[in-house]
Amino acid sequence: MNFPENPNPNFTFLSDDNFISPFMDNFDFSSLMFEVDEGGNTGLVQEETSPPTSIVSSETLTGESSGSGRAITTLSKKESTFDCKNRGSKDGEKDPGHRVAFRTRSKIDVMDDGYKWRKYGKKSVKNNTNKRNYYKCSSEGCTVKKRVQRDGKDAAYVITTYEGVHNHEIPSHVYYNDMVSSNYDHDNNWNQHSLLQSIHISPPS
């Protein structure tokens, strides 16, 4: 599947055993939210509360509890919403880039998506007792940023927001592939994933 305006155009989600998730532990895409509108919301789309105005597309996966269930994927695209929310044409100047926010159920705060991130800030935000962490892609010339924050309502969920588009390959792309072939099993987790993710990057044109 290809999401429009996905900051990682080659970043695909598949429920196929040929793929492996870089996300450790008890991991579950409870919701995947694409956002192109910054107005009104604080950068996040809460699936329960927010109207679909700012959700471009969403994906819900279930079957996480035991980590061995089948992944059920639903995908809905609201292209009309996406079109009308195409901002940034103000002066034709700065477009901060695409933003993707998704909420995952995970024990760990920072999920390894294959890129190298450097932490550059931490803030406590309103209506959330947990801190929000700010990361930049540590690759030279890459300005992609990432915000990671525990859900204030349910600390079992982690809200991750990507901003920008990577202009380079995933540094650990080969590493992940190697993990697949080398029967990575030390934690008794990876082999049980119902949702496996593949990251495939093609060189920028």
Judged by the rule CB under 7 A, the positions of this chain that interact with DNA are 42-43, 116-123, 125-127, 132, 134, 138, 145, 147
Tokens of 85: 């929310």
Tell me whether residue 81 or residue 130 sits nearer to DNA (CB atom).
130
Whole-angstrom distance, CA of residue 50 vs CA of residue 81: 14
To DNA, the closest distance from the beta carbon of 116 in angstroms equals 5
Q: How far is the CB of 119 from DNA (least distance, A)?
A: 4
Identify which of residues 43 and 63 has a Cβ nearer to DNA in the complex: 43
DSSP state of 173: H
The nearer residue to DNA, 85 or 193, going by C-beta atoms, is 85
CB of 18 to DNA, least distance (A): 30
- Tokens, residue 132: 């929000």
Length of the chain: 205
Cβ closer to DNA: 115 or 190? 115
Q: Taking the CA atoms of 39, 43, 67 and 193 in sequence, report the sign of the dihedral they define.
A: positive
DSSP state of 191: G
Q: Chain centroid to CA 67: how far?
A: 19
For residue 64, the minimal CB distance to DNA (Å) is 26
CA distance 33 to 47: 8
CB closer to DNA out of 54 and 198: 54
Least distance from DNA to the Cβ atom of residue 118, Å? 4
Closest Cα to residue 43, out of 131, 148, 113? 148
